[in-house]
């Protein structure tokens, strides 16, 4: 079974193709902005999900305070497109990165994160080269064991280091609590804040993150903003996390069934170079809307292996199916463009402008 | 510990960066060409690994008969660069793809694969539009349960269908035996060949594939060519498969240690958007040459989680390390360019010209 739109996409663009429904994109932007507004925190969407200046501008127009980027290459694309309040939520190290950060400072108000002294010691070079003070937040680990200092005492020590550095401005704290770790995060933050104040400092910016954490947004007393990313498209992980329904999933991969060599199996033209091997902890690699009981069991680079044993409906070779990916952020990162539709109508393509840049 | 070259790469390009050593690339090209020559089969390298016209031309100059592509977007880049003998080892379906295939036929001698009647029934449109006969091989499954007919009888039936189609030329069989499945493949092929001959047909092209299968190359009696891809760069999977040593690994990811928030752990600036979540069945996500006992345990999109518990040497924040990825083909697909070096000297960058195209 191929929907009329899927047939049209295949005819005009071929498959596999990533298709975004702009009605849903707009609804997602509005819904999460309203949720942040209601929670009394600013919205600073993470653009790593869409990597598109047009979508970032739509997020800002809807009320976002600014945006979050994970790397300089993303921030450069966004600053060139006129976005003027950018947090790079990442430890930046090295002369090459400091030169680029200085150039960014000339175009936008930049804030960067740091969780160690090596990072902090490099940042004044960027500030000096730009001739403007650079805002720095201390990244705090509250359970993920990713980046971030592990104790409030370390957070305070780094805050003081930043405040004492020529050209740097201590801006506050960046947290990324786990979904169940918000009371721990509160404890960490309260202690760090007390430490700050004991040294005559304060945290103007207290940033939490994550789309699955939209159910917790506003829970941290003192938080000033939230950094959700995936919500603009949503995916199978967000549905599993209970923060989106299938109708909120704005991006799907249109893929052709290219082989049915066995009765219980099939091959899709979307493999790990389209859907990626990120499982997001889920079973199977995406939901096929036309055959929800079929399982995308594994991948070769350009082959998706369909297990049809538990599916009562079975596709034919040539059918074009729609797949909601497990983790949409990494899927968008695989392609130069996505196709925009509104309901059944094709609008055109949108460049994934900030992809392909490793750094 | 940062090598002088790593420091130079970080200074000039920043990290993460993919670096290829052209001495090793040339040695790999020569070595596998010699192995194919010695086995008496032609070499038809799969360019999905490097996606670079320059490297494809080097492979052809070294003696390759032609190249293999997995999709039209790759073949278009290669045909535009003057490669004139291209196998697309994939079932192509739909008018959009037939139009592009016809345009390709005007530039290069194209062969495509098919494993079902739906695919075969579409191909005459491409042949008619190009005004030239189109070569078609039947893809045979010999154990992977990917694409490919499952029985010799089906292979013969499709061969006859191709031979009877206006504008199509039955060219032979495409196989991709598992590493241990070559005697099964021989049985399949012998039976299919006997069936062909009973109907007055023959297989001019009998193609096997895979770099791990280089240890089997030539084993299939009747094989005319082999399609190795990964050998140009090699990776941790090829070393594990016993077909390459660490010195044959021509590509590594240079990555900065950006955080060491705990004594037993660290964070690299190479995450799943650089190294991908493909494990290739191996433990950990790559070998760190400077710290071979350290484990890249898991990923966020831009974070590699380093587990240092079993490592006697521990990197400092700011160190630039070199990582041999598990599966190099998917890693190269993440980036617009790689940096070329020769020993300790940086030569420049090479575009990954055929990437970012989903189809």
Digitized pLDDT (tens) for each residue of chain A, 359 residues in all: 899 999 999 999 999 999 999 999 999 999 999 999 999 999 999 999 999 999 999 999 999 999 999 999 999 999 999 999 999 999 999 999 999 999 999 999 999 999 999 999 999 999 999 999 999 999 999 999 999 999 999 999 999 999 999 999 999 999 999 999 999 999 999 999 999 999 999 999 999 999 999 999 999 999 999 999 999 999 999 999 999 999 999 999 999 999 998 999 999 999 999 999 999 999 999 999 999 999 999 999 999 999 999 999 999 999 999 999 999 999 999 999 999 999 999 999 999 999 988 99
Q: How far is A321 from chain B (nearest CA, A)?
A: 14
Query: In terms of DSSP bridges, do strands B67-69 and B85-91 run parallel, antiparallel, or are they unpaired?
Result: parallel
* Per-residue pLDDT at B343 exceeds 90: yes
pLDDT digits (tens, 9 = 90+) for B70-86: 999 999 999 999 999 99
Percent of chain A with pLDDT over 70: 100
- Read off the tokens for A232: 């603009």
* Per-residue pLDDT at B261 exceeds 90: no
Q: Report CB contact under 8 Å: A95, B13.
A: no
**SS3 for B231?**
helix
ipTM over the 0.90 cut-off:
yes
pLDDT digits (tens, 9 = 90+) for B209-249: 999 999 999 999 999 999 999 999 999 999 999 999 999 99
Q: How many CB pairs under 8 A join A and B?
A: 192
pLDDT digits (tens, 9 = 90+) for B143-157: 999 999 999 999 999
Chain A hits for B115, Cβ within 8 Å: 259, 261
Q: What does CATH list as the number for A4-20+237-351?
A: 2.40.37.20
Q: Report CB contact under 8 Å: A118, B274.
A: no
Q: How far is A174 from chain B (nearest CA, A)?
A: 15
pLDDT digits (tens, 9 = 90+) for B25-50: 999 999 999 999 999 999 999 999 99
Q: How far is A270 from chain B (nearest CA, A)?
A: 9
Q: Report CB contact under 8 Å: B358, A150.
A: no
At residue A1, the pLDDT reads 86
Residue in chain B nearest A257 by alpha carbon: B93
Please indicate whether the domains covering A4-20+237-351 and A23-232 agree at the CATH topology level.
no
Q: What angle do CA B60, B97, B81 make, to 5 degrees?
A: 25
At residue B356, the pLDDT reads 85
At residue A288, the pLDDT reads 98
Q: Report CB contact under 8 Å: A356, B336.
A: yes
What average pLDDT does the segment B301-318 reach? 97
pLDDT digits (tens, 9 = 90+) for A241-287: 999 999 999 999 999 999 998 999 999 999 999 999 999 999 999 99
At residue A356, the pLDDT reads 85
Give the whole-angstrom CA distance, residue A236 versus residue B211.
Answer: 35
Contact assessment for residue A70 and residue A46, using Cβ atoms and an 8 Å cutoff:
yes
Closest by CA to B143, choosing from A243, A153, A311, A261, is: A261
- What letter does residue B151 receive in the DSSP assignment? S
Chain B hits for A267, Cβ within 8 Å: 91, 146-147
Q: Report CB contact under 8 Å: B11, A116.
A: no
Q: What does CATH list as the number for A23-232?
A: 3.20.20.10
Q: Report CB contact under 8 Å: B93, A318.
A: yes
pLDDT digits (tens, 9 = 90+) for B220-230: 999 999 999 99
- Read off the tokens for B287: 């070998």
At residue B151, the pLDDT reads 97
Q: How far is A96 from chain B (nearest CA, A)?
A: 5
Q: Report CB contact under 8 Å: B359, A316.
A: no
- Domain ranges within chain A, ordered by starting residue: 4-20+237-351, 23-232
Q: Report CB contact under 8 Å: A15, B359.
A: yes
Q: How far is B26 from chain A (nearest CA, A)?
A: 25
Give the whole-angstrom CA distance, residue B102 versus residue B87.
Answer: 14
A116 closest CB neighbour out of B97, B259, B301: B259
Query: In terms of DSSP bridges, do strands A265-268 and A251-259 run parallel, antiparallel, or are they unpaired?
Result: antiparallel
Give the whole-angstrom CA distance, residue B133 versus residue B98.
Answer: 14
Q: Report CB contact under 8 Å: A94, B256.
A: yes
Q: What does CATH list as the number for B40-232?
A: 3.20.20.10
Closest by CA to B244, choosing from B229, B233, B260, B258, is: B233
Closest by CA to B265, choosing from A98, A182, A116, is: A116
Chain A hits for B11, Cβ within 8 Å: 94-96
């Amino acid at each position: 079974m191929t929907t009329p739109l899927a047939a049209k996409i295949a005819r005009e663009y071929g498959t596999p193709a990533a298709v975004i429904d702009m009605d849903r994109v707009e609804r997602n932007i509005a819904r999460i902005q309203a949720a942040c507004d209601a929670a009394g925190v600013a919205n600073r969407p993470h653009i790593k999900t869409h990597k598109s200046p047009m979508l970032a501008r739509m997020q800002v127009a809807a009320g976002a305070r600014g945006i979050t980027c994970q790397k300089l290459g993303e921030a450069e694309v966004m600053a060139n497109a006129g976005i003027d309040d950018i947090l790079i939520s990442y430890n930046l190290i090295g002369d090459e990165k400091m030169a680029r950060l200085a150039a960014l400072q000339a175009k936008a108000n930049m804030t960067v994160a740091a969780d160690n002294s090596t990072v902090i010691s490099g940042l004044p070079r960027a500030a000096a080269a730009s001739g403007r003070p650079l805002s720095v937040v201390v990244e705090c680990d509250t359970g993920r064991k990713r980046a971030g200092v592990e104790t409030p005492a370390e957070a305070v020590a780094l805050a003081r280091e930043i405040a004492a550095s020529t050209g740097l401005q201590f801006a506050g704290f960046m947290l990324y609590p786990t979904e169940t770790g918000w009371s721990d995060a509160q404890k960490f933050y309260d202690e760090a804040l007390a430490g700050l104040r004991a040294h005559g400092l304060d945290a103007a910016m207290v940033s939490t993150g994550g789309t699955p954490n939209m159910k917790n947004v506003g829970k941290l007393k003192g938080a000033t903003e939230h950094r959700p990313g995936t919500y603009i498209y949503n995916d199978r992980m967000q549905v599993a996390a209970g923060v989106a329904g299938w109708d909120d999933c704005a991006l799907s991969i249109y893929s052709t069934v290219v082989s049915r060599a066995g009765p219980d199996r099939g091959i899709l033209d979307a493999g790990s170079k389209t859907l990626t091997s990120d499982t997001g902890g889920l079973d199977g690699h995406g939901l096929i809307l036309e055959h929800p009981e079929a399982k995308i069991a594994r991948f070769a680079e350009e082959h998706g292996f369909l297990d049809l044993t538990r599916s009562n409906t079975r596709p034919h070779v040539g059918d074009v199916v729609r797949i909601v990916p497990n983790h949409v952020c990494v899927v968008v990162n695989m392609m130069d463009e996505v196709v925009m539709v509104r309901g059944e109508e094709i609008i055109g393509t949108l460049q994934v402008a900030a992809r392909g840049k490793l750094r």
